[in-house]
Structure 1
């Protein structure tokens, strides 16, 4: 049974690709924006690779930020950039991060958890001041007790290290065996949770693919913000949700029902904003049956 939930921040609580995309457009206007999703994934890859060297005192934060930008661009055969260009990109990126907002589906999810009195926590990798600024900007303290927020740099550990998850369990007063961790990084979030005895939900909305031979160890996988509310709601709405994590179940109809309900709610909000049914179907990647139900309901409402 799941009794508490802990979230990652970057690209989980908010869409981190949006400020990255805007910074790339302004800083490197000749970059091929058709591959921005792949570039963002590589940018996150180099963030995860490089930040441990900052933690170890081998690199300055400034060099790390230049390095991840440079290496990402190099992967896409872009020209060599100067440290000054890297610094300008970082400045624009940080400025765009000032405008981050929590998406409706995440706010719905957190409102639901708060109403249910479910203990909520945050574990995030990154520089302490930088991450705490995001947490405040996103309004997370409306939902999370500051004592249940851990930023890696402040602890001396980082995801996926077990020490960070163990520290969180102790500080948050949560039982790992009944706690669900939600994050977008398989290596940092899913593996970190798994190796620490936590449950995990892989928030795979960037369509990452596991390397050949890697055994999936997450309990749940969702691939869009619109699925999040339904998936979380069904976990905590049921009187005994432990069967959700039955490894013998290839498919879980109860969980799928919750996800479908969340998708339909998101679809109706988009339709109410005058978006066409065709665009909603594409945006939410609805299957044929979901599309049929939506069209029937929309026609009836019209």
Structure 2
């Protein structure tokens, strides 16, 4: 806020940052008589103080003062935080491609089974042990039984799958094309840009590095469930981020794809929850959950942040 002494009357008025006040003497006299006869009420019905700018029509607000360096003077947000998987890059699509290549490599290494059989079994392993588990291919071979690789070295077959998976990661892992331009512009505004994600610390930080996201993030604003000791959908994970960054929930936006994990928890705390539908596996309607905003891509997010929240993008 910028404090400006009134030109007449000796009082003190407060103008928003980036604005100055213009004094109108004739109107001031009328305002003084009006205020003595009947105190003004705000739309909510509460009394406004006499030093409130909106209660003094003789002070006209002018946008003449510069805003904070690199920021937006009237921005309604102090931070935008993101999920990683299926929000910043197409995780599900990438994982299918990498796993398919791994299955084919294991068959090429001598696993004597049709690709469809190996694929279906791998899908079951992932469903049972979660996608973040480190030994999918080991369990896959245990379940397929030895007759199908009797004369093979089990470790070499697994290694073939792992190598193919990582080769795909090197070639194909990339953020959605509209992500980096927006993150770059968000960083330039001076607000906090961060991550709240569920997963293993090493895997999630590797994703941030490979996707080229690290230069655009506030270093202290990266929260990974394993590292924090709290996982989605527990709202405490989001509370930790707000507390450590000293952020007000209503001035913090969270963007994610999962209604249950990325929308309901932060919204329950009063954060601005924005659903990204682009790679979502469940819709808001299917989950029976409401979001504050819905976007199909980050170009739409850019417009939302600029037009609704006043960010200079």
- Are 2:87 and 1:12 aligned? yes
Whole-angstrom distance in 2 between the partners of 1:212 and 1:148: 30
1:108/1:89 CA distance change after superposition, 3 Å: same
1:207/1:134 CA distance change after superposition, 3 Å: closer
Whole-angstrom distance in 1 between the partners of 2:265 and 2:185: 26
Q: Aligned residue for 1:133?
A: 206
Whole-angstrom distance in 1 between the partners of 2:100 and 2:236: 39
Whole-angstrom distance in 2 between the partners of 1:9 and 1:183: 8
Give the drift of 1:126.
Answer: 1.0
1:134/1:198 CA distance change after superposition, 3 Å: same
- Are 2:311 and 1:227 aligned? no
Q: Aligned residue for 2:72?
A: none
Give the drift of 1:120.
Answer: 1.0
1:223/1:212 CA distance change after superposition, 3 Å: closer
User: Equivalent of 1:193, from 256, 260, 266?
Assistant: 266
Q: Aligned residue for 2:96?
A: 21
Whole-angstrom distance in 2 between the partners of 1:195 and 1:170: 15
Q: Aligned residue for 1:152?
A: 225
Whole-angstrom distance in 2 between the partners of 1:87 and 1:192: 39
1:142-181: CA deviations, max 9, x gaps?
1112211111111111111122111111122221121110
- Are 2:179 and 1:106 aligned? yes
1:3-52: CA deviations, max 9, x gaps?
311011122122223432322332345768xxx9xx9xx89x949x847x
Q: Aligned residue for 1:299?
A: none
Q: Aligned residue for 2:134?
A: 62
Give the drift of 1:81.
Answer: 5.0
Whole-angstrom distance in 2 between the partners of 1:194 and 1:88: 44
Secondary structure class of the residue paired with 2:223: strand
Alignment of 1:23-62 (within 5 A): 23-28=98-103, 46=127, 50=130, 61-62=133-134
Q: Aligned residue for 1:297?
A: none
1:88-134: CA deviations, max 9, x gaps?
55553344334422333111211221122121111111111111121
Whole-angstrom distance in 1 between the partners of 2:90 and 2:285: 28
Whole-angstrom distance in 2 between the partners of 1:218 and 1:155: 25
Give the drift of 1:186.
Answer: 1.5
Give the drift of 1:87.
Answer: 7.1
Q: Is the 8 A contact 1:23 1:89 kept in 2?
A: no
Q: Is the 8 A contact 1:8 1:189 kept in 2?
A: yes
Secondary structure class of the residue paired with 2:178: helix
With the length of structure 2 as denominator, give the TM-score of the two structures: 0.56
| Structure 1 vs Structure 2 CA RMSD | 3.7
1:214-266: CA deviations, max 9, x gaps?
43221111223553433334344369xxxxxxxxxxxxxxxxxx9xxxxxxxx
Q: Is the 8 A contact 1:108 1:229 kept in 2?
A: no
Higher helix share: 1
Secondary structure class of the residue paired with 2:203: helix
Q: Is the 8 A contact 1:121 1:172 kept in 2?
A: no
Q: Is the 8 A contact 1:183 1:201 kept in 2?
A: yes
Q: Is the 8 A contact 1:177 1:197 kept in 2?
A: yes
Q: Give structure 2 stretches of 5+ with no counterpart.
A: 1-75, 105-113, 146-153
Whole-angstrom distance in 2 between the partners of 1:7 and 1:231: 15
Secondary structure class of the residue paired with 1:190: helix
1:46/1:103 CA distance change after superposition, 3 Å: same
Secondary structure class of the residue paired with 2:199: coil
How many residue pairs get aligned? The number is: 212
Q: Is the 8 A contact 1:24 1:31 kept in 2?
A: no
